[in-house]
Amino acid sequence: MAEHISKQFDLELETIRTRVLQMGGLVEAQIVGAIDGLMSSDIAKLDKVIAEDALVNAMEVSLDEECQHIIARRQPAASDLRMVITVIKTITDLERIGDEAQKVARMGKTILLADRVHMPRFREIQKMAEVALAMLRRALDAFARLDVAGALDVARQDRKLDEEFDANFRQLVTFMMEDPRAISMSIDTIFMCKAIERIGDHAKNISEYVVYLVKGKDIRHTALEDVERIEL
Amino acid sequence: MAEHISKQFDLELETIRTRVLQMGGLVEAQIVGAIDGLMSSDIAKLDKVIAEDALVNAMEVSLDEECQHIIARRQPAASDLRMVITVIKTITDLERIGDEAQKVARMGKTILLADRVHMPRFREIQKMAEVALAMLRRALDAFARLDVAGALDVARQDRKLDEEFDANFRQLVTFMMEDPRAISMSIDTIFMCKAIERIGDHAKNISEYVVYLVKGKDIRHTALEDVERIEL
């Protein structure tokens, strides 16, 4: 009987872990869809991303409630409890990533429909999105395989993403100063880059939860150099 | 013995609730300090806000671990478990609010030290911050008193905050088009307003957790009108 219950519990934990990865796959697709929609001027693709937000939100609510049921019913201790709490926090960050992808899609749609003379610099947005997407995939992979090294990689990539944002930003301010007609376009580009940068922040949050989960050590708020020293 | 354990548990729950409110008070003080520092050109005040970030982070880590200990040790069911999970989520949002306040202080410090000709429009930032601060106080008050009506008020105020941001933004774009020398200042102002807007978002998140806590109903992602209809 105890073994049966224990196997059921293992199955429940495995199920929520799988559902987290499914939710992760969905928001990854939203990011890809938003960028593809921009680059190919495909309004239908952007609309699909916008519509998917409701599904992402529903997954968050459902998974959150399932996690609380598991805690109440199975009364997990120590590392199993940390796993479930990690899932609760991770799905919040995934839902926020989906929100940012939706914002990029909405902003892109508004811009494309306005048929403006000066178009935003989608290429810069695409390059940042590639980095953010890689960070998200690595964070989810680190979660799936409980891989601390992979999780720490994400923190490194976040610096790279912030540097790309700063570089894009300085470039856009220069454009605005050279040509006031480019101001509106530049502002739109900055806001879309900011949304991508926040996706990277959320991916970094997820990777930090993974390190805490595996090491029982909270590295949030610990400088990257200190963490790397701990790992050696 | 059971009564003793039960009383101890009640005390533990009361203690973490009190600590959440203390943490809330600290990030409120950071917002106030950042704005006061800007308006009175007080670098020391801004430095204090920046330094307080380490304390806010430490409070989050400590409270998070205490919550997990309580869950493992007391195995709370139903509403007590929801309370503890609510605390775990709330402290994450409070920590992020502290981050945004710190960003405003850092940006303000950089601007003041640069001694620029065109200064950012701190008055607009101050007005937005007053709304965001009221939202945070109301959300924490709603948490303390388990007050759904107060929590719903915060969602309404968030719309008002977003509208103020949009109005400020349009005004600043106009300035930039009229005078390219005002571009740098305008961008700084926009980024500080964005940080304030995100503080409002986090306050709204906290108020939504309170509604979920009290009603056992997840109103996150539910339109404000639908929620108000539910309440009637």
Res A125: pLDDT: 93
**pLDDT tens digit sequence for B115-172:** 777 777 788 899 999 999 999 999 999 999 999 999 999 988 998 998 898 888 888 8
Asked whether the beta carbons of residue A71 and residue B81 sit closer than 8 angstroms, the reply is yes
Pair of tokens at residue B22 = 């203390």
The answer on pLDDT for A1 being more than 80 is no
Q: Which amino acid is at B7?
A: K
Min Cα separation B77/chain A (Å): 5
| CATH number, residue A170 | 1.20.58.220
- Return the number of other C-beta atoms located less than 10 Å from residue A170's C-beta: 9
Q: Which amino acid is at B205?
A: N
Range of the domain at A168: 2-229
Reported ipTM: the value is 0.81
Torsion of CA A138, A141, A145, A146, to 10 degrees: 50
Closest partner residue to A176 (CB to CB) among B60, B81, B176 is B176
Higher confidence at residue B219 or residue A79?
A: A79
The answer on pLDDT for B2 being more than 70 is no
Number of domains in chain A: 1
From first CA to last CA, the distance across chain A in angstroms is 44
Min Cα separation A141/chain B (Å): 23
Residue B46 class from Cβ within 10 Å (0-12 exposed, 13-18 middle, 19+ buried)?
A: buried
Res A66: pLDDT: 94
**pLDDT tens digit sequence for A107-151:** 999 988 887 777 777 888 999 999 999 999 999 999 999 999 999
Measured N-to-C along each axis, helices B183-215 and B148-178 cross at an angle, to the nearest 10 degrees, of: 170
CA distances from A72 to A60, A117, A214, B2, B3 (A): 18, 58, 23, 19, 21
- DSSP labels for A112-173? HHHT-SS---HHHHHHHHHHHHHHHHHHHHHHHHT-HHHHHHHHHHHHHHHHHHHHHHHHHH
Helices (H), chain A: 2-39, 43-74, 78-114, 122-145, 148-178, 183-215, 224-231
Higher confidence at residue A222 or residue A64?
A: A64
Rounded CA separation A198/A203 (Å): 9
Asked whether the beta carbons of residue B177 and residue A180 sit closer than 8 angstroms, the reply is yes
**pLDDT tens digit sequence for B45-84:** 999 999 999 999 999 999 999 999 999 998 887 788 999 9
Task: For residue B85, report the phi and psi dihedrals to the nearest 5 degrees.
Answer: -65, -40
Rounded CA separation B90/B71 (Å): 16
**pLDDT tens digit sequence for A20-70:** 999 999 999 999 999 999 999 999 999 999 999 999 999 999 999 999 999
Min Cα separation B41/chain A (Å): 26
A221 interfaces chain B, CB cutoff of 8 Å? yes
pTM over 0.80: yes
